[in-house]
Chains A and B, each alone.
Chain A
Amino acid sequence: MNKSHLKLSCVAIAALLTAQAASAQQVVLDVTGWKGNEAEPAGMSELIEAFEAANPDIDVEFSYISRLDTDVVLPPRLQGDNAPDVMMTDMPLVSIWSESGLLADLGTDSEWYGRLEGSLVPSVTNDDSIYIMPLEVIGMGNFVNMDLLAQAGISEAPTTIDELHAACQALDAEGIRPLIFTGGFSAPLFVIANGLEQSNGAASLGMAEEMFVDSAAFNASIDLVRGLIDNKCVDPQGQAGLDPWSTALTEFKAGNFAMMPQGAWNIGDFSTVEGLNFTFAPIPSGNDSGVALDLFGIGWSMSAQTEYPEEAKRFIDFFAQAENLQIMLDAESAYSPFQGGASGMPTLAAAYDQSRLDGGVIMYPFAVLDWPKPLEGEIWDSLTGFLLDTDKSNEAVLERWDEAVEDSL
């Protein structure tokens, strides 16, 4: 072997060793979430790319698993000691998985913990531990087609029940269908928002300390629906079975209805519809501000089994930085869960913003575990049944809610 061959061999070996050392340091983080697919991108690919650029020693392998399938696919992985390092979660998942010791405590000494909105802190903190880093708070309110309202001579989105009735009468007189009121989701949003606005708080109802059937606020809320039906705001039988996630959205986008209680996550999609002039307002209620029904939806949790806790924390902390989180908030039309009022809400949601500022905000009780998850389905089913048969008494509807609460205690 001559000198040049020896040199070449040394260089090759050195390069090989360096490459091996580099690959040994490279960490692959397994991350799952129900955002970040084609239907709900949430800025995820952009954020992951930015994270990898800022952390060249970490590769992120992101898998999309829908919320529904998360319940099916992740428990075997968690029980099989092969959980993803970081998982998108919500409070119902956190309450089950943290109790079973499957999630790691992110630490109340985390930098971002001290910046969390005060209203969220009690919900996400569990005995000085925190298992979820909230990513967004998203509004649920009333989408209003302003062009259709203008045709009926109305210039502002209704925020009170009286204004809603007046709008319905004017719209009906013009032959415009006023309100999409699906038994699943839209009607429940309206009933829950109005019921909670007049009640003493959600927690006592969710713990069966107070009964729905005895609650004057929720009886009145169902009576409000009867009023809407009588005033031709709602065609109960025609809309009870509309699918809130597809048909109802298409109907609103097509301009077939003037209003629709729904979530702000639709703002991005609706904004792409040419000629659809809409606003996002609070749910009309007895108060002037209406109800801004806020949903604390998603967050990041770290598996207790992760081999890379430090890297997983870096990933989670990356999303807590204001400039990074803003990308997701913009894509989702959501509010920051941190103090300071950062928001991705566009100006067309000014009415909803104003309601929040005026104290009209109520947290969606399922997302903060004030109400048990099975009750949600029962409310949807019972209100669908009520819309199909409005002769049903309030008692018949609300008793089902109480039974669902009692069953889950």
Chain B
Amino acid sequence: MTLRRALSWLAHVAVVAIVLAMLMPVIYMIGMSFRTSTEIIEQPLGMPNSLYLGNYETVLASMPYLRSVINSIGITLAVTLMVAFLGSLAAYPLARRTNRFTRIVIMLVALGLATPPFVTITPIYVIFRNLGLLDSYVGIIIAFTALNLPLAVFFYTSFIGAIPKELEEAARLDNCNNWQIYWYIIRPLLGPATATLSLFVTLMVWNDFTYPLLLLSSPEKSTVMISVYRFLGNLNVQPDQLFPAAVLGSLPLLVLFVIFQRRIVAGVTAGAVK
């Protein structure tokens, strides 16, 4: 019994240590953001003596923070919804009709996952220019949706494959058509997969700055990561500016995760234990 308690205690200590190690960069980033440049120079790895807000004042004065946060939230939300909807819609027939054609389609989707981004960047730019989608919110949302769809389709296909067909057969007996089966039977069962997928997509869209840099040229349309990116030098780093900018860049996402933490965790873990 004592041994079991000791092992349990050790396991808890190990978990706390691992969590602390994982959080260390975040703690360091937040700590640095409240230190003066002199403090940072004197003790690069130290923690703040006091909560110095001057760095935040300087950074906020030179970045369109609120506007760029609203842009980022809007784009991320739209992309996540579109990816979840279109991905699950495409995956449903691919999971249910297994023949040579659907297998080829799934392979093509997998190819989309394996394609390096620099291969697609020029064609995307040229197509969007021809369609008049440059420097528009619609353009960037379509681009991110297209880039994330292979992941979603791949993800949902295997998940839908595990849903018992009997549920659909029962719905068919009740005269449901394919769309109704998808909407009323399949879609609600995809909650856990959607929660996990949304996490991936949200992080990817929020943190990406290559496509916003390429497709959005108006400063008022820039995302929060583009605003943060301006604080990173080519040949030097100003920690008293970069760290508060980085905190401000990730803060909205952190707040959203805290607010929806229960739902996200419930979604991700649902179905894990029977």
User: Counting CB contacts under 8 A, is B238 at the interface?
Assistant: yes
Determine the chain A residues whose CB is within 8 A of the CB of B231 once the complex forms: 37-39
Determine the chain A residues whose CB is within 8 A of the CB of B242 once the complex forms: 39
Q: What is the 8 Å Cβ interface bit string for chain B, positions 232-246, against chain A (1 contact, 0 not)?
A: 111111110110000
Q: What is the 8 Å Cβ interface bit string for chain B, positions 39-78, against chain A (1 contact, 0 not)?
A: 0111010000000000000000010000000000000000
Shortest distance between the CB of A303 and any CB in chain B (Å): 14
Roughly how many angstroms separate A124 CA and B231 CA in the complex, as a whole number? Answer: 31
User: Counting CB contacts under 8 A, is A282 at the interface?
Assistant: no
Shortest distance between the CB of A244 and any CB in chain B (Å): 9
Residue of B nearest to A67 (CB): B234
Asked if residues B121 and A30 are in contact (CB atoms below 8 Å), the reply is no
Report the interface size class on chain A.
Answer: 35 or more
Chain A interface, DSSP helix/strand/loop, else mixed:
mixed
Asked if residues A66 and B234 are in contact (CB atoms below 8 Å), the reply is yes
User: Counting CB contacts under 8 A, is B176 at the interface?
Assistant: no
Q: What is the 8 Å Cβ interface bit string for chain B, positions 107-144, against chain A (1 contact, 0 not)?
A: 00000000000100110111001000010000000000
User: Counting CB contacts under 8 A, is A116 at the interface?
Assistant: no
Q: What is the 8 Å Cβ interface bit string for chain A, positions 60-74, against chain B (1 contact, 0 not)?
A: 010111111100110
Determine the chain B residues whose CB is within 8 A of the CB of A66 once the complex forms: 229, 232, 234
Asked if residues B126 and A250 are in contact (CB atoms below 8 Å), the reply is no
User: Counting CB contacts under 8 A, is B217 at the interface?
Assistant: yes
With contacts A38-B62, A73-B214 taken as known, whether A245 is within 8 angstroms of B236 at the C-beta atoms is yes
User: Counting CB contacts under 8 A, is B213 at the interface?
Assistant: yes
Asked if residues B230 and A263 are in contact (CB atoms below 8 Å), the reply is no
Asked if residues B232 and A39 are in contact (CB atoms below 8 Å), the reply is yes
Residue of A nearest to B241 (CB): A38
Roughly how many angstroms separate A34 CA and B213 CA in the complex, as a whole number? Answer: 13
A–B complex contacts, Cβ < 8 Å, 16 sampled: A34-B234, A35-B234, A37-B233, A39-B232, A39-B234, A39-B236, A40-B233, A66-B229, A72-B121, A76-B125, A82-B129, A245-B235, A246-B239, A250-B41, A266-B236, A273-B37
Identify the A interface with B (CB < 8 A). Answer: 30, 34-35, 37-40, 61, 63-69, 72-73, 75-77, 79-82, 245-247, 249-251, 253-254, 263, 265-266, 269, 272-274
Nearest 9 CB-CB pairings of A with B: A39-B233, A76-B125, A76-B122, A246-B237, A37-B230, A80-B126, A253-B41, A80-B125, A67-B234
